[in-house]
A and B are shown apart, each in its own frame.
Chain A
Amino acid sequence: MASAASVNPTNLAGQSAASDELRYVPVGHTSASVTEKISELVLGKGTRQSWYVMFAAGTFLFGIFSAVVVYLLMKGVGIWGINVPVGWCFAITSFVWWIGIGHAGTLISAILVLLHQKWRTSINRIAEAMTIFAVMCAGTFPLLHLGRPWYFFWLLPYPNTMKLWPQFRSALVWDVFAVSTYFTVSLMFWYMGMIPDFATLRDRAVNRRWQIVYGMLAMGWRNSARHWHRYQMAYLLLAGLATPLVISVHSVVSSDFAISLEPGWHETVFPPYFVAGALLSGFAMVIALSVPMRHYFGVQDFISVSHLEVMAKILLATSFFTSYGYFSEQFITWISGETYDKYVYLNILIGFKQYAVITWITLFCVFIAPQLFWIPRFRRNEKVLFSVSILVLAGMWMERYLLIATSLSRDFLPSSWGIFQPTIWDILTYVGSIGLFVVTFLLFCRFLPMISMCEMRGLLPGSRGHEEGR
């Protein structure tokens, strides 16, 4: 089980087990060199010009986002293309898309910890950071869609003068609890993983200001063996708790649809199908981020091609899970003979206006494109990896869009049928949210250790670390 993902079918039979063991460990590194390399990325003098260029681009998008939000607060949600049958569209699409992306971080950091997958060490910090920022982006959409976001606290149960409570039988209230729990737990997990690394940065910083900043963040961590003992236990427990959490979050998100009676939504396959889609888009995002990052920061020995290859395999597997969801949906609709369901799915496949075209593009992006990863050469080719990841990300967004737009525009009452047409504000809100992600992620790369130094040291041969020699 534990070695399932690390089996390399291209390995020649004669290749020794020892070399396979070391494939995910940076070659020729020692504790000192790992520390030096990763902490210099943070503490090193000067920020590169290209970082500023990317940061400026991100800030530009984020500026658009802020401007849209201000305009939205002035005018109300009417600036979006939503209408009476399609009461929410881009906002919920982007919400589901972002929160799905966030899932890979917890998968990598929690489930792979429990499975002793040592290759996670190179990418878990990046993936966890990605989770935090993606969930932040996700959270803005339902808040903005509230119409009067300043009353967001009405979603929380607290004794109030209106003597009212949130309706706990509604999946939308479950969403509030699921997403806020997910954000809190992911943040704690991420921060806890960084405490020992903050101690390293504190001890290495020469600048008094950074000594204080990282010293505060490290909370006086002094690498005591007795502390490590409790730390490891708490970390393992957090991983164990985050694992059912990550499954539950997207299941709850899918309940927003599955609990309702709309044709095309009321289906039991939704929770697992949503979780699979979330993992697919999340892994696509991890690949799309790590391919450029490993070159930009010169960490090719930490995030090796072998790491990318494992992720490509997971991408392929989750692409099948997700596609199974599509086909099962179609099949169940066909066999059920439900008139309204059949009509909605006919629209999705060969139907009207823009939807059918998007369906076939989606199927290409999500199902056909990842099939390239059957071929080992493509799993190790960064250009292919990056392009397929971007296609998958685009495909997953379109899939959620279709799911929401088609069902809502063709419900049970033909007199209320209507088509959703996005306005420029819809598009700008979505594109702008990418700016929020880019800005926060770039800040993370500059100021926080992007690879876990303490776990990496424990992985080196002869370290007697937790994962060493497994």
Chain B
Amino acid sequence: MKTEQKFFGLMAEFETVDALFAATRRARQAGYREMDAYTPYAVEGLAEELGESKSRIPVVVLIGGLVGAGSGFLMQYWSMAVDYPFNAGGRPLNSWPAFIPVAFEMMILVASISAFLSMLFMNDLPRPHHPLFNVPQFARASQDRFFLCIEATDPQFDPERTLEFLSGAASHLGIVEVPMDVEPAAKEAEASERKPVGVMS
């Protein structure tokens, strides 16, 4: 359809979390799927509203824990009983109760690292650049404002109709186009100039 994507999407700004919730539900009911909400803290149930299913992080963590415990135990078994058998106080070479603490710590270590890294990878982070950062108001997403962005990749997306649709959202503070890229020189000038398009309520 589109040969060159000029902008990332259309983004509406809200003052309250309830307005964002209502707008998200409305967009989802209207059939939009490629969209995301931006909130200054974790909002209960918003991801589900956006159509996010249960995350697979717990599975990754479980596998990480099993790998950690297994490799931790095998490392000890192999080094103490196979590679360098050493009689310490008449204990059996495979003195497994003594191997539990290290295996346990290895389980926690690998599982925790899996939790942290899988969160980053699934979120596609670290990623210091993103079209959203081209919108000056977006800085308030980390402070006190709520945003809903319908992305241009959504099959239903149409610049005019989506703008009209978003303008219909209750109590929004304005709608902006999210440009894909901003020329470095134009950035400064544009930042001060850019006005919210659509209706101010």
Contacts and interface: CB of A to CB of B under 8 A. Distances in A.
Interface of A: 30-32, 35, 157, 163-165, 167-169, 171, 173-174, 177-178, 181, 184-185, 188-189, 192, 196, 199-200, 202-204, 215-216, 219-234, 237-238, 241-242, 244-245, 248, 252, 255, 454-455, 457-458, 462-466, 468
Contact of A221 (B16, B80, B125): B125
A457 B146 CA distance: 13
A111 to B, nearest CB: 15
Contact of B119 (A169, A192, A216): A192
Q: What 5 pairs between A and B have smallest CB-CB spacing? A: A229-B47, A219-B126, A234-B119, A458-B41, A31-B144
B143 A200 contact: yes
A268 to B, nearest CB: 14
B17 interface: yes
Contact of A238 (B91, B95, B112): B112
Contacts of A169: 80, 88-89, 91, 95, 98
Contacts of B128: 215-216, 219-220
A225 B46 contact: yes
B157 interface: no
A184 B118 CA distance: 16
Given A177-B101, A185-B109, A464-B45, A234 B125 contact: no
Contact of B102 (A173, A203, A226, A233): A173
Contacts of A221: 125, 142
A232 B52 contact: no
B76 to A, nearest CB: 4
A230 B41 contact: no
Given A234-B57, A234-B119, A457 B79 contact: no
Contact of B37 (A35, A224, A232): A224
B40 A457 contact: yes
Nearest to B50: A225
A157 B75 contact: yes
B55 interface: yes
8 contacts: A221-B142, A227-B123, A229-B47, A229-B55, A230-B119, A245-B108, A454-B41, A466-B44
Contacts of B75: 157
B120 A219 contact: yes
Q: How large is the interface on B (under 10, 10 to 19, 20 to 34, 35 or more residues)?
A: 35 or more
Contacts of B21: 464
Contacts of A464: 17-18, 21, 43-46
A231 B119 contact: yes
Nearest to B141: A223
B130 interface: yes
Contact of B125 (A30, A219, A454, A458): A219
Contact of A255 (B88, B101, B127): B101
A188 B116 contact: yes
Interface of B: 16-18, 21, 36-47, 50, 52, 55, 57-58, 61, 65, 75-76, 79-80, 83-84, 86, 88-89, 91, 95, 98-99, 101-102, 104-106, 108-109, 111-113, 115-116, 118-120, 122-123, 125-130, 132-133, 138-144
A434 B146 CA distance: 44
A231 B41 contact: no
Contacts of A241: 61, 65, 108, 111-112, 115
A177 B55 CA distance: 30
B38 A222 contact: yes
Contacts of A220: 125-130
Contacts of A228: 39, 41-43, 46-47
B43 to A, nearest CB: 5
Contacts of A466: 42, 44
B106 A177 contact: yes
A234 B105 CA distance: 19
A378 to B, nearest CB: 35
A390 B109 CA distance: 33
Contact of A181 (B84, B109, B138): B109
Contacts of B99: 168
Nearest to B49: A225
B142 A238 contact: no
B76 A168 contact: yes
A181 B111 CA distance: 11
Given A225-B38, A229-B46, A463-B41, 5 more contacts: A31-B40, A204-B143, A220-B130, A225-B37, A457-B40
A462 B146 CA distance: 14
A35 B143 contact: yes
B95 to A, nearest CB: 6
